[in-house]
Structure 1
Amino acid sequence: MKLAPASRVYSPRDVIVSVGLMLVACALVAATTLIAKMLGPAAGANPLHPLQVSAGRFLFAFLVLLPLLAWKRPDFKGARWGNHILRVLFGWAGVSCLFAASSAMRLADATAISFLNPIVAMMLSIPLLGERVGPWRWGAAAIAFAGAVILSEPGTEAFQPIALVALAAAVFMGAEAILIKKLTDSEPPLRILAINNFIGAVLALSAASFVWRAPLPGQWLLLAAVGATMVTVQALFIQAMKRGDASFVVPFFYTTLIYAGVYDYLVFSEQPTTAGLIGALLIIGGALTIAWRERVQRRSTPITRRAAG
């Protein structure tokens, strides 16, 4: 019988560095939503369509990766192209919806609703990965969805229909997370990054061609910044995971919400609402509960997976 490998012991310095890397990554993730809002209607003159922003994200990310790909020359033999293409479709749809929501509502609210994606991934893991979900995680999912309902304030004058677009972003990103999990089990990270950003660039540019508006010079710089920032975030996230236990490091990702709120206030003078704060806390609480239960499950069943809440 093959036993699970022992957990790696990380030094205090590694843990501190991993948290620092994750916090920087969160600041940059929030910055991409801020840039999307600056490129949209909120910016005033010459607003760009969200599809153009997502095209910039994939195109410039691939261009940033090109030197590394030329150096490393990853092997694409045996790539699971069906899963890659589906992952790109879901990822492109998710980021396009997130950019669309960010351009039309408070950044903190759009970010909070997009944080439902771990809940969606958990639900999709049942039919797609054959996983079992117990009452703890179903309860956490219910709390998180309640937070999304409170945040969008249905039935009131403050109701934001654009919140449904942010919810769609969470659904697409949750589906993408399942496919990423399937790919990372069998393929190297650089190959996944290369295929994702190349196919994503082709798809995003094709879609953006139907709504294309010539960007101003400053907008080209912002589009390039989105792509370069996303590649940097991926690199920081990987390094953070190498230096700390995932169940400890990943919860720090939710500080993205704080950065988004601060950026929105500083640039657009947007202030959070009471409903927004309550909803965001419920969503994050639900997501953190799921992360905690997954940690408990891994520790209690190192050899085979069982329902653990």
Structure 2
Amino acid sequence: MAQQNTRLGIWLMVATTFVFALQDGISRHLAGEYNVMMVVMIRYWFFAAFVLTVAGRKAGGLRAAAQSAFPWLQVFRGALLVVEINVMVLAFVFLGLVESHAVFAAYPLLVAALSGPVLGEHVGWRRWTAIAVGFVGVIIILQPSGGVFSPYAAIPLLAALMFALYALLTRYVARGDSSATSFFYTGVSGVVVATAIGGWFWVPMTGPDWAWMGLLCLTGAAGHYLMIRVYEVAEASAVQPFAYLQLVFASTLGLVVFGETLRWNVVFGAGMIVAAGLFTLWRARQKEG
């Protein structure tokens, strides 16, 4: 097992969130010009090639990576992530990076809320209180009675729910499968679903946009590689709080590059969500300790 280095893990997580925020910004640009599902499909072609390369270089190769105790659940996981990514990129187009990520930041709270029914884990009253506070934050962001509520605001919330379910299923299959197997199925089943959906929406791309697409694919591979390295050198509980930096980086891109605005209710609501999420992570770590 690799030696634990929490400081390195934290810096790698910061780098990971920055790369994923760049990926979100490029996705928003391309999805504004082309169909979302086509963009996600091409991104998955490159991602699947990366997954197969990683799996092929490990002991046992592709055959070992494909061995699963939960093959159909793994296939469902991969398909669910593809649909979630399509939904989230759609949110970037309709709502922008700032508000999409502010709402999506609630997904750790959804993980905590659903860990009981899905995984049979106990969630105490303190974490339920934090979950409730976080969802008050979501309501503040959405402002349903403020006259500015848009039905598009439900899109990132749906993406957060789907990603929370994906995360819970990932934890569930980890009871019988290695992380290498889960990574393999994420790429392979994902690319099949992405192509089955996105192939219907193919249109030619311009040269400059192919360059952006190439950068999107590279950031995707780099982000996943960095994420793998994060969990090789540090415990998840130590680095997970820094994942919230993606909200900061993506929002900065939205403000500076795409000219989005920052409303007070989004800042206040996102602050409540992040604080509640950090508390649930802290409680989970206390219980593990």
C-alpha distance in 1, partners of 2:99/2:148?
Answer: 13
Shift of 1:89: 2.4
C-alpha distance in 1, partners of 2:37/2:277?
Answer: 28
Counterpart in 1 of 2:27? 36
Match of 1:268 among 230, 249, 258: 258
| 8 Å CA contact retained: 2:44, 2:190 | yes
| 8 Å CA contact retained: 1:56, 1:224 | no
Counterpart in 2 of 1:181? 171
Q: Secondary structure at the match of 1:209?
A: helix
Instruction: Provide the TM-score with structure 2 as the length reference.
Output: 0.91
Match of 2:42 among 56, 67, 71: 56
From the superposition, tell whether residues 19 and 78 of structure 1 become closer, same or farther in structure 2 (CA, over 3 Å): closer
Q: Does 1:248 align with 2:234?
A: no
Mean Cα displacement is larger for which, 132-141 or 218-227? 218-227
C-alpha distance in 1, partners of 2:44/2:235?
Answer: 29
One-letter amino acid of the structure 2 residue matched with residue 262 of structure 1: T
Counterpart in 2 of 1:160? 150
Q: Does 1:293 align with 2:283?
A: yes
C-alpha distance in 2, partners of 1:206/1:171?
Answer: 23
Q: Please list the CA deviations of residues 26-74 of structure 1 after superposition, one character each: whole Å capped at 9, or x if unmatched.
A: 0011112111111133xxxxx1122122212321111233333333313
One-letter amino acid of the structure 1 residue matched with residue 23 of structure 2: T
| 8 Å CA contact retained: 2:68, 2:176 | no
Counterpart in 1 of 2:160? 170
| 8 Å CA contact retained: 1:64, 1:228 | no
C-alpha distance in 2, partners of 1:248/1:69?
Answer: 27
Aligned length: 284
Q: Where do 1:100-119 residues align within 5 Å?
A: 100-119=90-109
C-alpha distance in 2, partners of 1:93/1:143?
Answer: 28
Shift of 1:225: 2.9
Shift of 1:9: 9.0
5+ residue gaps, structure 2 = none
C-alpha distance in 2, partners of 1:159/1:33?
Answer: 23
Shift of 1:90: 1.8
Shift of 1:215: 2.4
Q: Secondary structure at the match of 1:154?
A: coil
Shift of 1:164: 0.4
5+ residue gaps, structure 1 = 1-7, 42-46, 300-309
Instruction: Provide the TM-score with structure 1 as the length reference.
Output: 0.85
C-alpha distance in 1, partners of 2:51/2:3?
Answer: 32
Q: Where do 1:180-199 residues align within 5 Å?
A: 180-199=170-189
C-alpha distance in 2, partners of 1:143/1:53?
Answer: 36
Shift of 1:186: 2.1
Counterpart in 2 of 1:303? none
Shift of 1:227: 3.2
C-alpha distance in 2, partners of 1:9/1:201?
Answer: 33
| 8 Å CA contact retained: 1:58, 1:198 | no
Shift of 1:264: 1.3
C-alpha distance in 2, partners of 1:195/1:225?
Answer: 24
Counterpart in 2 of 1:21? 12
C-alpha distance in 1, partners of 2:144/2:20?
Answer: 28
C-alpha distance in 1, partners of 2:160/2:108?
Answer: 8
Q: Please list the CA deviations of residues 248-288 of structure 1 after superposition, one character each: whole Å capped at 9, or x if unmatched.
A: 21101101111011111221122311011011111111111
| 8 Å CA contact retained: 1:61, 1:231 | yes
From the superposition, tell whether residues 159 and 35 of structure 1 become closer, same or farther in structure 2 (CA, over 3 Å): same
C-alpha distance in 2, partners of 1:111/1:261?
Answer: 7
Q: Please list the CA deviations of residues 58-103 of structure 1 after superposition, one character each: whole Å capped at 9, or x if unmatched.
A: 2111123333333331312344211112211221121111111012
The share of aligned pairs that are identical, in percent, is 23
C-alpha distance in 2, partners of 1:296/1:173?
Answer: 24
Q: Where do 1:217-228 residues align within 5 Å?
A: 217-228=207-218
